[in-house]
Structure 1
Amino acid sequence: MNVAVVLFTCDLRLHDHPPLRAALAGGRQVVPLFVRDPAVDRAGFAAPNRLAFLADCLRDLDAGLRERGGRLVVRHGDTVEEVCRVAAETDAAEVHLAAEVSAFGQRRERRLRGALEAQGRALHVHDAVTTAVPPGAVTPASSGHFAVFTPYFRRWSQQTLRGPLAAPRAVPVPDGPASEPLPSREKLSGVAPALAPGGEGEGRRRLAGWLRTGVTAYADRHDDLAGDGTSRLSPHLHFGTLSPVEIVHRARRRGGPGAEAFVRQLAWRDFHRQVLFARPAAAHADYRSRDDRWRSGRAAAEDAEAWRQGRTGHPVVDAAMRQLLHEGWMHNRGRLLVASFLTKTLYIDWRVGAEHFLRHLVDGDLANNQLNWQWVAGTGTDTRPNRVLSPVAQGRRLDPDGAYVRRWLPELADALDAAGVTGAAVHEPWKLPESVRERSGYPAPVVGLADGLARFRQARGLE
């Protein structure tokens, strides 16, 4: 039994991979295994954009393993059953995998441990693979998890991170375990036209470029919608083609205000994971109920559909929503704006927005997505649950010359250009001459901002 199985999940890389390095210890052969579990599809997480990115990641992982004398084994079926089947086929003594934070992942881990122990095999679960700091490593004295980011971040920053691990030079894989063909994004439909490529190689190239030329200005430019001064590393963090531990180490070595601000965002990612780990129900239930009676019925459904299509009549909101449909990604500040608009200006349930994001975001991560939506909706960990972000004020601040809106709303841009209208006027098209509005074909606002604010304040009992 000199064989170990490594179950890859959201850690599709060879660099800084503790489960893989532990499995290879002592000269063991290793079965690198990925299981396409139908339960993931049934739960609604098999979105085309993520399936396409996943296909890239698996192909890149297989190529990296083959360069080291190995290969990736892909199976389809229940994860526990397939892992046990592969372990039996190869007489593997142990299985290694990264720790999970979701309720689904934790249940799967418990099932797998029981099934393997019944076969006389061991399961080894590794922390700090998909997070920089494990969920349970930083806790307050009064409860099992931090509910406010700032004190969490102070403690998080004091933690000593493990050192990054080099990619193994060789990965010997035993003969025998059969693999299904690797998936391909070319065979998928419904993929965003400008979806970015996936894979560890692409992630490491992007990280190197970001640390070399982008991170220095991050503190000043991370809110610039048109300038897009963000790293765009979130899909690679979601699929684990990059290690958060390695990223934090490298960013801290780079140093400076930009790197510090960037590391803070990685801490936010860990913060949401420790919340979800402690409160798995927060994936679908209010973390802190505000007794909301969200709008429903035909009018609310029509407003929600206008929001999904980027046709609300509020330019910066619509621009961000169209970016999502075209790229499968959205600028972080845009995410906050469109979430505030849906939950507070339209007063529609945050779960409606979270579902749409998970359907389209290539980095559609359960912890970050659901808990950020709750933060904006005021049902989560935000200490100011009733704040409302004005699309006009935010648009003027984050897109002062209207370049972001013009990029994603070409019909409005063309009409403005024809009329000689420039600058921030793009953020209030309802103030433009009627002839310009008609020429653009851009819709009137689904709701006035003052009316939306009044409705929200009344619903929350603030008036």
Structure 2
Amino acid sequence: MRTSMMLFTRDLRVRDNPALAAACRAERVVPVFVFDDALLDGPFAAPNRVRFLLDGLADLRESLRELGGDLVVRRGDPATEIARLAQETGAESLFLADERSRYATRRLSRLRDLPLRVTTHPGVTVVPPGDLAPAGGDHYRVFTPYWRAWDGRSRRPIARTPPSVRLPAGVRPGPLPRFADLASGATSRDLAAGGERAGRRRMADWLRDDAADYDRVHDDLAADRTSRLSPYLKFGCVSPRELDAAAPDGFRRQLAWRDFHHQVAAAFPSLATRDYRPRGHRWNLDEDAYTAWCEGRTGIPIVDAGMRQLHAEGYMHNRARLITASFLTRDLGIDWRRGLRHFNDRLADGDIADNAGNWQWVAGTGNSTRPSQVMNPHRQAARFDRGGDYVRRYLPELSDVDGPAVHRPWTLPEARRRALDYPPPITDP
């Protein structure tokens, strides 16, 4: 009787999961998730992401039980735990999602050393990182030609949900760990619930109510009509392929940006630590300026509102991410890596490829074709929070200020006066 194993990684769902569908062709399936201590040390154990991950795994376990199976949970080195489970169950094959991060590449290499047939399947991105490359190059360095190739690429069929999952007899599923076993520190007060069910509800609501207006409203900070699906995409609670099939082109372009950053990170694994395109920057080391930015007390209301949203929700509106990142790197002249670390500490959707790619784009060291571009926070506020409602939502101390007057600088931060004479003249996109 054939037995397969399904290793869940960043695909915590049963719908449109090609690896799971393939694994379930065997008579018996061992669905497993391994908590790797190598990822639970340091910034990977950010409280908001740990909470979101545990929500996703609890939901996945419930879904697998409804299909007749269960989620086997282990902690340790993935290759070691998979080898042990294969021996216990007699499994002959292993299935998992194709992922190209530095960590995932090392993990896959170790898994391929085991006496198992190891097969990877798409599912983390719409188009796998290695599927598109320009003539004479290993990856696209500019987004627009990538978008054209991505948009014209044929798509895999959406995978069917397995009708049943049959776990081998005698396998001990094991309990999910407690939050305190994995992370220390508090989660954001208004952190969204994780899991496939929550993600699919959010996806259905957005597709029904707001998707048609995406091009018109997605940059409107006060409207808050973006999809808010990024953490569900990060953990694979919703399928990027399903979103690609259902969403308007404006949103599909954002999915293409996500895939673009993944293929850049696959070709340049140091994207989170080294300048992709060094520009000879001199970075400011002003600790007071950095702390003020982190805490949302720079005195620039639109910047502070974005940072307060980050801390309250473990999420930030995409336009606010651009504004706050530009202010840190261009106005204060502080190294983008410090901003990246702070975002990684707080974001439920913190993804190495996307986060690092966007930070480098804003800082002018990444894939932007206009590396001197700077976002004037006051002009950005006037365009995307014209009435000041976004600022008043997150800065209650300004709640009694009427209209756009809320956007005037309420203090002139000493950090801003001390910033290095580094940024080019301010221009607004």
Normalized against structure 2, the TM-score is what?
Answer: 0.95
How far did 1:178 drift? Answer: 2.2
Contact 1:56 1:185 in 2 (8 A): no
Per-residue Cα deviation, 1:225-267 (whole angstroms, up to 9, x for no partner): 011120000011000011111111122xxxxxxx110111001
Q: Distance in 2 between matches of 1:400 and 1:197?
A: 31
* Further displaced range: 380-389 or 171-180: 171-180
* Residue 286, structure 1, aligned to residue 275, structure 2: yes
Question: Which residue of structure 2 aligns with residue 154 of structure 1?
Answer: 148
The CA deviation at 1:358 is 0.6
Alignment deviations for residues 291-336 of structure 1 (CA, whole Å, 9 cap, x no partner): 112112xxx1111010000010100000000000000000000000
Aligned-residue offset at 1:448: 4.9
| Map of 1:437 onto structure 2 | none
Tell me whether 1:365 sits opposite 2:351 in the alignment: yes
Q: Report the equivalent of 1:427.
A: 407
* Structure 2 counterpart of 1:222, from 203, 210, 218: 218
Match of 1:314 in 2: 300
Structure 1: segments with no counterpart, 5+ residues: 252-258, 417-421, 431-442, 459-463
Tell me which amino acid in the other structure corresponds to 1:262.
Answer: F
**Offset at 1:213?**
1.0
- The residue type paired with residue 88 of structure 1 is Q
* Secondary structure, counterpart of 1:45 in structure 2: helix
User: Do the aligned partners of residues 166 and 184 (structure 1) sit closer, same or farther apart at CA in structure 2, a change above 3 Å counting?
Assistant: farther
User: Residue 32 of structure 1: SS of its match in structure 2?
Assistant: strand
Q: Deviations over 1:172-217 (max 9, x none)?
A: 0112232331245598741100000011011111111111111011
Classify the secondary structure of the residue corresponding to 1:92: coil
Which residue identity lines up with residue 4 of structure 2 in the other structure?
A
Judged with a 3 Å threshold, the aligned counterparts in structure 2 of structure 1 residues 448 and 303 are, in CA distance, closer, same or farther, namely closer
Q: Confirm whether residue 176 of structure 1 aligns to residue 165 of structure 2.
A: no
Corresponding residue for 1:405?
A: 391
Aligned residue number for residue 24 of structure 2: 24
3-state secondary structure, aligned to 1:6: strand
Q: Shift of the alpha carbon at 1:452?
A: 5.2
Paired residues for 1:339-378 under 5 Å:
339-378=325-364
Q: Does 1:385 align with 2:352?
A: no
Asked whether 1:64 is paired with 2:63, we answer yes
Structure 1 counterpart SS, 2:159: coil
SS at match of 2:257: helix
Which residue does the alignment assign to 2:230?
234
In structure 2, how many angstroms separate the alpha carbons of the residues matched to 1:186 and 1:37? Answer: 16
Match status 1:141 vs 2:130: no
2:45 alignment partner, SS class: coil
2:158 corresponding residue in structure 1: 164
Residues 416-446 of structure 1: CA distance to partner in whole angstroms, max 9, x if unpaired?
3xxxxx221211134xxxxxxxxxxxx5434
2:256 is the counterpart of 1:267: yes
Q: Contact 1:52/1:191 (CA < 8 Å) preserved in 2?
A: yes
Segments of structure 2 that go 5 or more residues without pairing to the other structure are none
Show the 5 A alignment for 1:15-54.
Answer: 15-25=15-25, 27-54=26-53
Quick one: which amino acid aligns to residue 405 of structure 2? A
**Runs of 4+ residues deviating >4 angstroms:** 184-189, 451-454
Letter in 2 for 1:246: E
Whole-angstrom CA distance in 2 between matches of 1:168 and 1:294: 52
The Cα shift of 1:83 comes to 1.1
2:145 is matched by which residue type in structure 1? P
The aligned runs of 1:72-221 (5 Å cut-off) are 72-114=71-113, 116=114, 120-126=115-121, 128-184=122-178, 189-221=185-217
The 1:122–1:43 alpha-carbon spacing in structure 2 relative to 1, beyond 3 Å, is farther
Q: Cα distance, 1:122 vs. partner?
A: 1.2
- Check whether the contact 1:272–1:371 (CA below 8 A) recurs between aligned residues: yes
- Identify the residue that residue 6 of structure 2 maps to in structure 1: 6
Contact 1:344 1:453 in 2 (8 A): no
**2:69 touches 2:165 (CA, 8 Å); kept in 1?**
yes
**Match of 2:131, SS?**
coil
The amino acid that maps onto 2:199 is: G
Q: CA deviation at 1:455?
A: 3.5
Find the aligned partners of 1:240 and 1:315 in 2 and give their Cα distance.
34
- The count of aligned residue pairs is 423
Distance 1:382 1:152, change over 3 A: same
In the alignment, is the contact (CA less than 8 A) between 1:53 and 1:185 conserved in 2?
no
Distance in structure 2 (CA, Å) of the matches to 1:273 and 1:74: 28
Task: Letter of the 1:69 partner, please give it.
Answer: G
Paired with 1:391 and 1:183, the residues of 2 have a C-alpha distance of: 43
Percent of paired sites with the same residue: 50
Q: Deviations over 1:132-189 (max 9, x none)?
A: 1111111100210000000000000011101111211100011223233124559874
Where 2:105 maps in the other structure, the secondary structure is helix
**Higher helix share goes to which structure?**
1
Amino acid across the alignment from 2:338: V
Choose 320-329 or 281-290, whichever is displaced more: 281-290
CA distance in 1: counterparts of 2:229 and 2:330, whole angstroms? 29
CA distance in 2, matches of 1:384, 1:370: 17
Does the residue aligned with 2:271 lie in a helix, a strand or coil?
A: helix
Q: C-alpha distance in 2, partners of 1:446/1:19?
A: 54
Q: In structure 2, what is the Cα distance between the partners aligned to 1:51 and 1:455?
A: 38
RMSD: 1.6
Partner deviation per Cα, 1:385-411 (whole Å, 9 max, x = no partner) = 111111111001100011111111111
